[in-house]
Amino acid sequence: MGKIALVTGASKGIGAQIARTLARDGFDIWLNYCSSDTEAQIVKKEIEAAGKSCVLLKFDVASALEVGKVLMPLLDNQIPFVVVNNAGFRKDTLLVWMKEKEWQDVINVTLNGFFNISKSILPFMLKKREGRIINIASASAHFAIPGQSNYSAAKAGLLGATRSLAIEIAKKNVLVNAISPGFIDTGMLEGLPKEQILATIPLGRFGKPEDVAELVSFLASEKSGYITGQVFQVNGGICT
C-alpha cells in the first residue's frame, strides 16, 4: 500500500495542483473539498488516470464535528504521511466596514481548519514517528494589503502555529513547515489590481500553481528530512 497525502481545499487552484503533483510523486490522495463537486470529480479523474487512487472527502475543515465524522473512520485503517493544510479563502473588506461573520469565517477556515485537521491526524503520526505537515499561508502574512485584515491575521497566525508545532513534535520525526505563496494566477487574484501588483514583482509575472506544488513535493519527500519549523516564500522576489 502506497503512502497517502491529505490535501485540504483541493478541488481547484493551488490545492488541486498540489494533489496532482503529489499523485505524480507516488502518493495516493485524500482530497478534501467543501462545495465544488464538479471540480473535485475532475481532479479525482486526473489523479486516477495517473495511476493513483483518490478518495474525495467532502467536509468543512472549520467544523470539528464534520472533520471527525469523515476522517476518524478512515484513520482506523490508514494514516496519511503528508497533510497539506491548504483550505482558505478571502473576504476582503476594510475593517471599519467588516462584519463579524466576514472576520470569523476567514479565521475559522484557515486557523480552525489547521487545528481540526492536524489535531485529528497528529496522534497517529506521532505513534508512527513519521509524517509531514505542510501549511499553505500567504504573502499577506508578511506585508500589508488593504482590506485583508482578516485574511492577513489568519495566515500570520498559521505561521506562528507552524513554528510552535514544529518544535513540539520534532523529536517524533514529524516535520512541520509552511509555504507563503505570493500572487499566484488563480481565482484568488479576482478583485485585486493586477497591473499594479505585477509592477511590484521582480520576476515580472504572476506565479503558477505549479510553483507552489513543486515546493510541497520537496517538503513531502525524504530530501527534506532535516527541515522543520520553516516558512518558504514563493513570490517572484518580492521583498517582505
Residues 28, 51: Cα–Cα separation, whole Å: 9
Assess whether 151 carries a catalytic annotation: yes
C-alpha distances in Å from residue 148, one per residue of 123, 151, 153, 171: 34, 5, 8, 36
Give me the mean pLDDT over the 144-163 stretch. 93
pLDDT recorded at residue 187: 77
Catalytic one among 103, 151, 183, 232? 151
Q: What is the pLDDT of residue 240?
A: 63
Hey, what CATH topology would domain 4-234 get? Rossmann fold (3.40.50)
* pLDDT tens-digit map of 65-116: 999 999 999 999 999 999 999 998 888 899 999 899 999 999 999 999 999 9
Taking residues 195-223, report their average pLDDT. Answer: 94
Helix intervals (H) in 11-148:
13-24, 37-49, 64-75, 100-107, 113-128
Query: Could you tell me which residues are beta bridge partners of residue 30?
Result: 6, 55
What does the pLDDT look like over 159-199, one tens digit per residue? 999 999 999 999 999 999 999 999 998 877 777 778 888 88
